[in-house]
Homo-oligomer: A and B are copies of this chain.
Amino acid sequence: MTLTPDRLAPMANAIRALSMDAVQAANSGHPGMPMGMADVATVLFAKFLKFDPAAPKWPDRDRFVLSAGHGSMLIYSLLHLTGYASPSMEDIRNFRQMGSVCAGHPENFLIPGIECTTGPLGQGLAMAVGMAMAERHLNATFGDALVDHNTWVVAGDGCLMEGINHEAIGLAGTLGLGRLKVLWDDNRITIDGDTSLSTSEDIAARYRASGWDVFSCDGHDFADIERALGEAAASAKPSLVACRTVIGKGAPNKQGGHDVHGSPLGDAEIAAARGVLGWTAAPFEIPAEILADWRSLGARGQAAREAWEARKVADPQAGEFSRRMAGELPEGDEAAKAFAAWLEGDASVATRKASENALNVLAPLVPEMVGGSADLTGSNNTKAKCQAPFTPADYAGRYVYYGIREFGMAAAMNGMALHGGIIPYGGTFLIFSDYCRNAVRLSALQQVRAIYVFTHDSIGLGEDGPTHQPVEQVMSLRLIPNLNVYRPADLIETAECWNMALQTPDTPSVLALTRQNLPQLRTSGEMLSARGAYTLRRAKADRQVILIATGSEVEVACNVRDALEAQGIGADVVSMPCMELFHAQDSAYQHEVLPNDPSILRVSIEAGTTLGWERYTAVSRNGGLNIGLDRFGASAPAKQLFARFGFTAEAIVPRILEKLSI
């Protein structure tokens, strides 16, 4: 069946009608983009996109990413019209209302057909880069029979203007991701007005400079759209298609202006638009013949899926492929054995080095782990020996040289995890978590297993000084919901934290690791870190103090304890590698570690901001004590800095004695 322009036009108008009506009913939302891109999206779904509404999670589907997530009614319309089970028309009627899966911005965890959560501008396109990387990696690993699809993106001017766009397209160009196709809604309007208010860039030239092909079309001429998308589909390079559109197309008095961007059109304008579009159906009703044309589109993808299923049955790698796509770890206890062998050998190492050793155990056993670093490979210790570089010449490689692109890296990791079949991890200095913070947040919101290896985690990095010394970063990451922030104290805890990070498929992890060496504080055995915090040292004398510390400061706490015990003051040391996991324990365990006894002084020791530690200390004797750093650091060797800022037994013991004497 060939859908000619005279049949495509009413199909596109169905998107326009739903978008106008849903935004009007919600009295909130963005009609301009869905109406402007309706024609392009219709051609994409009618002629190019490989999708099967009956199987939204089919591994070899094309990925469709609405990077301009504010235009969410575009994707809700497309999914409903093509016959996905979700969203229903009832959901669309309740766009942006409590309980509807049609949230303000598209959310992958509410609707199976939505590949990723978008809205924070630029990140959809950058996640699509990760999806295209995942596709090539799995293709190189499992072959064309199982993995052979494209990633299509709809992006707006905001997605192209954000800094992350530079990182994302540079990465895609360098990696030669020819399966990535970006449809740019070139409507020359942003919220503040005409794009000329704030940009004068030659976007096509910039994309070409980054190794992309650039095509263009009249975004309201179906034949021209089909030509341009066809050229992009055929290109071996990542491709940008500049779709010249009119924002709010179809709204006769408002189209082409910035008022149509993010506000309902109003009843009068909607009535006028219906006249222009020849749309006579009631709100939220789609004429049967138009809906039938939409529903016919899935047949192409259904056939492709059935052929794929047949190939899969015959494929010797199908089991392994399915395991990886399901996000299940390999079975067996090889990891435990290998860990045990390694942990017998090591002793005093930096936790970044312990992490490297853990990777050298895990990466050979968990082939879906794909690592990388934002140009700090030798500092983050992120490259396992078994990993070859991921390059255009070898997409089977499992190590990505991301370049100096922290935000682009983190978004690509999200895209790989969302694509499935890969457990991505990536490194940078902890301080530069600031550069990719919103992507870490999107890992958490999207419930993906992305693992961030953030090294150089305190003033302990030494001479690089305050620009590079995290002070507030560890606590600020703890504030992000559904994110586990690990700060291990030695090689044993580092191994345990890596273990746990792999075992939380719906929760991303941060590993905050030291540059400096740390002593081994305990032997392996029971995975104590799994409870978030545990008693590492028990008081010998009558217990008056509990010292709670993380990471490199656990060693300091042990020294403080020894000094207190020497004075006959009993003190526990509690290591708390993961505050979130401890917070999630039952109160019986929490009180076992931190007894509800106001005669005991609780002391937190962490080389970062103290705000937040009162959760565990303030209820104790005299309000507890917080040893931390509520100012920026300084440049000097690490040991001198620890002394200068009071992270030594000599400095801490007198403060404890003073508190005990009150």
Contacts and interface: CB of A to CB of B under 8 A. Distances in A.
Contacts of A619: 618-619, 623
Given A199-B170, A202-B209, A205-B208, A404 B104 contact: no
Interface stretch (A361-369, A563-571, A609-617): A609-617
Nearest to A194: B401
Contacts of A162: 163, 166-167, 404-406, 435
A480 interface: yes
A510 to B, nearest CB: 14
Given A165-B166, A475-B479, A465 B104 contact: yes
Contacts of A191: 375-379
A644 B192 CA distance: 33
A632 B481 contact: yes
A442 B466 CA distance: 10
Contact of A119 (B118, B468, B630, B632): B468
A117 B201 CA distance: 29
A404 B479 contact: no
A467 to B, nearest CB: 4
A634 B192 contact: no
B104 A464 contact: yes
Contacts of A104: 463-465, 467-468, 635
Contacts of A88: none
Given A107-B466, A623-B619, A482 B198 contact: no
A385 interface: no
Interface stretch (A94-102, A276-284, A414-422): A94-102
A203 interface: yes
Nearest to A29: B463
A479 B611 contact: yes
A69 interface: yes
A509 interface: no
Interface centre among A104, A157, A609, A641 (most CB of B within 10 A): A104
Nearest to A156: B404
Contacts of A7: none
A53 interface: no
A174 interface: yes
Given A373-B192, A611-B612, A157 B404 contact: yes
A442 to B, nearest CB: 8
Interface in A174-210: 174, 190-193, 197-203, 205-206, 208-210
A150 to B, nearest CB: 21
A261 B154 CA distance: 40
Contacts of A107: 465-467
Nearest to A440: B434
Contact of A614 (B199, B211, B404, B615): B615
Given A174-B198, A206-B209, A472 B466 contact: no
A519 interface: no
Interface in A441-500: 441-442, 444-445, 462-468, 471-472, 475-476, 478-482
A405 B163 contact: yes
B401 A192 contact: yes
A414 B170 CA distance: 27
A199 B176 CA distance: 11
A407 B408 CA distance: 14
Interface in A112-162: 117-121, 157-158, 161-162
Interface string A406-444: 111000000000000000000000011011011001101
A403 to B, nearest CB: 3
A173 interface: yes
Contact of A190 (B96, B403, B442): B403
A349 interface: no
Contact of A117 (B389, B467, B476): B467
A164 interface: yes
B98 A192 contact: no
Interface centre among A29, A98, A475 (most CB of B within 10 A): A98
Contact of A201 (B98, B100, B190, B210): B210
Contacts of A407: 163
Nearest to A157: B404
Contact of A432 (B118, B120, B476, B634): B120
Interface in A606-651: 609, 611-612, 614-615, 618-619, 623, 630-632, 634-637, 640-641, 644
A376 B205 CA distance: 27
Contacts of A480: 472
A103 interface: yes
27 contacts: A28-B463, A97-B636, A98-B641, A99-B636, A104-B464, A105-B464, A119-B468, A158-B404, A161-B403, A173-B200, A173-B201, A174-B200, A190-B404, A191-B376, A191-B379, A192-B401, A198-B403, A198-B404, A198-B405, A201-B211, A203-B209, A205-B208, A432-B438, A472-B479, A472-B481, A615-B618, A619-B619
Given A98-B634, A190-B375, A197-B389, 16 more contacts: A28-B462, A98-B641, A103-B635, A105-B464, A118-B467, A119-B465, A163-B164, A191-B375, A192-B376, A192-B378, A202-B210, A431-B438, A481-B631, A612-B612, A612-B614, A618-B619
